[in-house]
Structure 1
Amino acid sequence: MKKQIKLSLSLLVLISTSYGIAQDMGTIEFISDELSAVINKDAKVEKIADGCQFTEGPLWIEKESMLLFSDVPANTIYKWTEAKGKEVYLKPAGYTSTESRGGFMGSNGLYLSKKGELLICQHGDRRIAKMDAPLNAPQTNYTTVVGEYDGKRLNSPNDLVMSKKGDLYFTDPGYGFEKGMNDPKKEIPFQGVYKMDKKGKVTLQDDRIPQPNGIAIFPDKKTMIVASTDGEDKGWFKYDIDKSGNLKNKRVFYNVAKEKGMGGCDGLKIDKSGNVYATGPDGVWIFTKDAKLIGRIKFSRLSVANLAFSPDEKIMYITATNNVFRLKMK
């Protein structure tokens, strides 16, 4: 989610309609020829789903040939297939209480565990939960994976990733609160990056990012990247992962605080070669593992929130404002 999006959802829809935001199909900018190694020069971005409020958390499920993605304000996870298009997969997806509320209450980041379980960042319920049902027969039955730190309820878990050894890392900004950062229900005074080990112990890894967001592990399994949505440190930080799985040696990977484009730094993914695909101002920023900017997928009038790959990394799925896009890269 983006802190700088201060418009109400209804006004955002009005502006989208009036100015043709839905027609912003995205263009590929080749800053370096290195980008042609992963994206063909003639590749085109295509829209595959629309009509949502704010799309997030795309996850391709190869076994079912389906894309799952969150519509956060609608409290819904949709599935998309080539045959049937967009269909409701889970509702409610992130807020299961009967007490009425608004805001970004639904699910956000989605993750498929090694056991084939769907893990869900649930803003409204302020936890990471597991769906207790098969992927091909979804049910709104959830079990809490992690919902507290130091005896206090989390803010609104946003994104997550699991290491090969089974440590679960996640970010916990405050975007899910109905009344913003001053919501009286907020129990933790900061927005953290956390690790939960296989025994369920939760440890704080970083409390100095104003709004931590996307998170991913590099192929070397020794380094991690975390997005900082906005502010003076808007961009991405890199960490070393020590032998105990803790994050050390924090440093700037790339800073975009001076960029004035649409959207903040949100979800991201890393391919098998270590290239980083990170949503940021005006679209997806593409870097080498050494933070060299080699290209962008530009959406000048949409707020791009997240992306996902097919297993062979030849197809990218992008969530942007009320749409989902597909890019056949190779």
Structure 2
Amino acid sequence: MDETDFEWLDPRAIDCFLTNVYRVERLATGMRWTEGPVWFADQNCLLWSDVPGNRMWRWTEDGHVDVFRAPSGHANGNTRDREGRLVTCEHQNRRVSRTEYDGRIITLADCFEGKRFNSPNDVVVKSDGSVWFSDPDYGIMTDYEGGRADSELGCCCIYRIDGQTGGVSRVADGYVRPNGLAFSQDEKLLYVAESGGSHTPGAPLKINVHSVLDDSRLGPASLFADFGDVVPDGFRIDDRGYLWSSAGKAIHVYAPDGMPVGRIRMPENVANLAFGGCRRNRLFITAGTSLYAVYTAARGIQIP
């Protein structure tokens, strides 16, 4: 498939890419660093963050683009909970928040054992209502994506907010900078991007996978994919178990066994992605200053 945005590495790419779709579309531009796309099927719209721009944006199916929230607390990752409410990681406020049906924004968690989080980055919600998020230090390194500050915790870890009690527990440590998160469709596995090498020479750039234990703890990390010298960020799992990850100027697609099957080349560095559209087969991509989209042969996992 010459002269396209797609690179096929394995015959299984036929499960991912459409043979009659050759180009990625740019839907919006003019932001500073786009992140955190989340699809709202009931409203036929996509929300995403411009982290340094301190705004959240909205794109609707008719092509309209407007500001959803400003200021946003330098919002980064977004998802929906099992009741359809928006859950957001905010760098500036160093918290995970939830937007209620009436528009109120409440804090789900902003500290662990009395110490403020670094800058919550990416977030997923499990079917039991628990909220899992990564907490690297990107938002406190400078004033560009949050507010420069020393880490009170002294580490970058993954946390869980209990869906019933609101209690916060640390579920994984040993990461330099944990980043993107996604559960497998059966929720027995949690995939975690390690982007430590983005600012620490020699630190790893990879995606790990953990078993989710019955008591809501994580088993030891196992390597799923090594990204070499490019930085993995946000990613999603489709309904066949393929993993679609941002890294550099491409989306890298991996089969469930960890083998790369294909890439989508992009004009800007990719930060994150999300499946959406009426059949969940449209991949929305936040990259650099823009929002992009492409139709795929895959479907994303159903989200409220």
TM over 0.5: yes
Distance 1:27 1:230 in 2: 28
- The reply to whether residue 122 of structure 1 matches residue 85 of structure 2 is no
Query: How far 1:27 sits from its partner (Å)?
Result: 1.4
Q: Pairwise mapping of residues 249-264 of structure 1 onto structure 2 (< 5 A)?
A: 249-257=220-228, 259=229, 261=230, 264=231
* Residue equivalent to 1:70: 49
On the 8 A contact 2:34/2:289 being kept in 1, the answer is: yes
SS of match in other structure, 1:89: strand
User: Which of residues 165, 182, 187 is equivalent to 2:152?
Assistant: 187
Query: How far 1:220 sits from its partner (Å)?
Result: 2.5
SS of match in other structure, 1:238: strand
* Residue equivalent to 2:12: 34
Q: Pairwise mapping of residues 1-40 of structure 1 onto structure 2 (< 5 A)?
A: 27-40=5-18
Amino acid at match of 1:55: T
Deviations 1:53-90 (A, max 9, x none): 11000011111110100011111110001324210011
SS of match in other structure, 1:34: helix
* Residue equivalent to 2:32: 53
User: Which of residues 219, 222, 232 is equivalent to 1:248?
Assistant: 219
Distance 1:183 1:40 in 2: 44
Deviations 1:127-154 (A, max 9, x none): 00112345xxxx5x42101111111010
Q: Pairwise mapping of residues 1-330 of structure 1 onto structure 2 (< 5 A)?
A: 27-43=5-21, 44-94=23-73, 106-134=74-102, 139=103, 141-177=104-140, 179=142, 183-198=148-163, 199-231=165-197, 232-257=203-228, 259=229, 261=230, 264-299=231-266, 301-310=267-276, 312-330=279-297
- Structure 2 spans left out of the alignment, 5+ residues: 198-202, 298-304
Amino acid at match of 1:29: E
TM-score, normalised by the number of residues in structure 1 = 0.82
Distance 1:209 1:85 in 2: 40
- State the superposition RMSD in angstroms: 2.0
TM-score, normalised by the number of residues in structure 2 = 0.89
Distance 2:59 2:30 in 1: 13
Query: How far 1:184 sits from its partner (Å)?
Result: 3.9
Query: How far 1:290 sits from its partner (Å)?
Result: 1.2
On the 8 A contact 1:31/1:294 being kept in 2, the answer is: yes
Distance 2:250 2:155 in 1: 28
Distance 2:149 2:52 in 1: 20
| Higher mean C-alpha deviation, range 219-228 or range 200-209 | 200-209
Number of equivalenced pairs: 285
Q: Do the aligned partners of residues 178 and 234 (structure 1) sit closer, same or farther apart at CA in structure 2, a change above 3 Å counting?
A: closer
